[in-house]
Structure 1
Amino acid sequence: MKSKSKSLIASIVFGTSLMAGAFVYAGSEKEDLKTDNVAFFGTPTSSISSSVSIPSQYNQLWISGTVPPIINRDGKTIYEKYGDTEAQAIGIFNSLKSQLEAKGLSLKDVVYLRVYITPDPNKGNKQDYQGFFNAYSKFFNKEENPVKTARSTVGVDSLVNSDWLVEIEAFVAYK
């Protein structure tokens, strides 16, 4: 009986400590919300932000699901036509970059990405998250573009075209 009581008490203490830590961390972010600029929050070691605050004076642009460009129209396989997950994501990011530049914006204005990844036949029919992460790291959280977007990366069964392994929605904030 004593063992169960000690275990229960340890669980309560541990759970309370976690909750207190979360409140302290959340409270530290509150001060940064009073800014005239977009503010990104999260741990320094993460490649993405846990949240983003967008002041009311910013405009928002939501870019619909963007899909990979065709690499070779005559390709016989997914990989010949569109590339693997990493190549498809790079193609999408380059497309997003062009769309933004045409509007006078850049990838530095992107605050959130929603990413859909389908199973890759060459990866045991599993989503190639690492391939996507590799592509993301070529465009974000780097010297040329230090923005660490908030992001959701979702594994899905399929996209409209069975050759697409990735589709990305982008949310942009700009003055």
Structure 2
Amino acid sequence: MLKRLGSLLVLAAALTGCAKEEVREIKRTDVPNFPIASAVQVPAGSDLFFLSGTVPPAVNKDAPAGSVDVFGDTETQTVNVLTRIQETLKAQGLTMGDVVLMHVYLVGDPAKEGKMDFAGMMAGYTKFFGTPEQPNKPARSTVQISALVTPGMLVEIEVVAAKAKK
């Protein structure tokens, strides 16, 4: 009986040691030939960071109030929004590579007959995700909405970032 109990204790200790050595990582399933993930698996116990919707700063204060020219075209707004997100993440010790989920809200561009400028958004987005320097890609949804809080804004982005505990 004691021999069997001793064997069980050794086995339990060995398994406990294995659990501590387990490497936990975020797993991404990429969409072929497109810079997003179809799914991202975040292991239990990871730290999650939810960032509120971020909008672009004014880039041309001399432009007519309420015009797109105040904030720039969709690509410019996307780059400026993602730069703001990058700065917010950095303040938390995170990078764009830690972003696991993204929701992109695009207002129809008056210069595009009221349709969202998906190509412009992608031109800005691909400067931050799926690059040789930063290959990680989030799961992402992009939708057209009727308006944002400030006229002239075309882009709002919210993200969730995750850091797996090792």
TM-score relative to the length of structure 1 = 0.77
Secondary structure of the structure 1 residue equivalent to 2:160: strand
Q: Which residue of 1 aligns with 2:75?
A: 86
Secondary structure of the structure 1 residue equivalent to 2:64: coil
Contact 2:69 2:152 in 1 (8 A): no
**CA displacement 1:130-166 (0-9 Å, x = unmatched):** 1001111010001110011100001111111121101
Displacement of 1:80 = 2.9
**CA displacement 1:77-122 (0-9 Å, x = unmatched):** 6343100011000000000011111111110110110000011011
Structure number with larger C-alpha Rg: 2
Q: Which residue of 1 aligns with 2:63?
A: 75
Displacement of 1:57 = 2.5
Q: Which residue of 1 aligns with 2:5?
A: none
Matches within 5 A, 1:113-152: 113-152=102-141
Tell whether 2:25 aligns with 1:37: yes
Relative distance call for 1:108 and 1:172 in structure 2 (3 A) is same
Gaps of 5+ in 2: 1-21
Gaps of 5+ in 1: 1-33
* TM-align CA RMSD: 1.5
Size of the aligned set, in residue pairs, is 142
**AA matched with 2:156:** E
The one of 40, 46, 61 equivalent to 1:58 is 46
Q: Which residue of 2 aligns with 1:96?
A: 85
Displacement of 1:44 = 3.4
Alignment partners' CA distance in 1, 2:34 and 2:94 = 25
Segments of 4+ moved more than 3 angstroms: none
The one of 167, 170, 174 equivalent to 2:159 is 170
Displacement of 1:35 = 6.4
Select the structure that is richer in helix: 1
Tell whether 2:146 aligns with 1:157: yes
**AA matched with 1:70:** A
**Higher relative contact order structure (alpha carbons within 8 Å, sequence separation ≥ 6):** 2
